[in-house]
C-alpha cells in the first residue's frame, strides 16, 4: 500500500530479480510519486506492473515515469501485464518497448464516482481524472503491443470515441478479452 510503503528507502536498493510489482492505495505526498521512476529503473526484469493509487487534487494525474529516472528506464522487455489507474496520456511509460505485453489495463481505481456526480454532498480529497476517449486513443497509439490479447480501458466518451473503437478493433489482432 502507498500509505505504508517506505519508497524512499526501497529506492535505495537494486531489484534485479523482481518479476511483479504493485502499488495501491493513495499518494500521500508528491514525494511518493517522484521516487517511482527511479524505483522502476532498478527493476529490469518486471513481468507485471500495477499502479493503482488515488491521486490528490494537487497531483491530479501522476506520471509513473518521466525523464527524471536515474538511470533512465529504457523499456521493460519482459513485461507481460501493465495496469495503471488514472494514467497521464503524456507518461513516458507508454511509448517504452514492451514487446511481450499481453494485458493492458487503463483504469479508474480506486473509484470515486459518487463525488463526480454529487460534488455538493460528498467532499473528497482525491481526484478522479478519468481518461477521455481521445486521450485513451493517444496512449494506445503510442504502444507497440503486437501480442496484446487482453485490454481494459475506462474512459469518458468524447469526440474520439468512434475512432478509439475503430482503432482497438483493427490494431490488436490477438485481442480476446
Dump pLDDT digits (tens) for 143-155: 999 999 999 999 9
What torsion, rounded to 10 degrees, do the Cα atoms 118, 119, 122, 124 define? 130
Position with higher pLDDT, 157 vs 7: 157
Q: How far is CA 73 from the centre of its chain?
A: 15
pTM above 0.75, yes or no: yes
Cα separation, 7 vs 21, whole angstroms: 12
Is the predicted pLDDT of residue 22 greater than 80, yes or no?
A: yes
Is the predicted pLDDT of residue 123 greater than 90, yes or no?
A: no
CB-CB contact of 41 with 74 (8 Å)? no
Q: What is the residue-averaged pLDDT of the chain?
A: 84
In which band, very low, low, confident or very high, does the pLDDT at 41 lie, cut at 50, 70 and 90? Answer: confident
CA of 166: how far to CAs of 21, 62, 137, 162, 171, in Å? 32, 28, 10, 6, 8
Percentage of the residues of the chain whose pLDDT score is greater than 90: 47
**Which pLDDT does position 9 carry in this prediction?**
83
For the chain, give the number of residues.
Answer: 177
**Which pLDDT does position 68 carry in this prediction?**
66
Is the predicted pLDDT of residue 102 greater than 70, yes or no?
A: yes
**Which pLDDT does position 44 carry in this prediction?**
84
Amino acid at each position: 500500500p502507498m500509505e505504508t510503503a517506505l519508497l524512499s528507502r526501497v529506492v535505495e536498493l537494486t531489484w534485479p530479480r523482481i518479476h511483479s510489482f504493485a502499488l495501491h492505495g493513495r499518494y500521500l505526498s508528491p514525494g511518493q510519486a517522484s521516487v517511482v521512476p527511479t524505483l522502476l529503473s532498478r527493476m529490469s526484469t518486471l513481468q507485471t506492473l500495477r499502479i493503482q493509487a488515488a491521486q490528490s487534487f494537487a497531483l491530479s494525474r501522476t506520471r509513473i515515469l518521466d525523464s527524471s529516472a536515474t538511470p533512465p528506464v529504457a523499456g521493460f522487455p519482459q513485461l507481460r501485464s501493465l495496469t495503471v489507474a488514472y494514467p497521464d496520456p503524456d507518461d513516458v511509460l507508454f511509448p517504452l518497448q514492451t514487446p511481450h505485453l499481453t494485458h493492458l489495463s487503463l483504469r479508474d481505481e480506486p473509484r470515486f464516482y459518487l463525488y463526480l456526480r454529487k460534488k455538493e454532498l460528498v467532499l473528497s480529497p482525491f481526484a478522479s481524472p478519468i481518461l477521455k476517449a481521445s486521450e485513451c486513443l493517444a496512449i494506445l497509439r503510442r504502444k507497440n503491443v503486437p501480442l496484446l490479447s487482453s485490454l481494459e480501458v475506462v474512459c469518458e466518451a468524447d469526440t474520439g470515441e468512434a475512432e478509439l473503437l475503430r482503432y482497438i478493433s483493427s490494431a490488436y489482432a490477438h485481442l480476446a478479452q
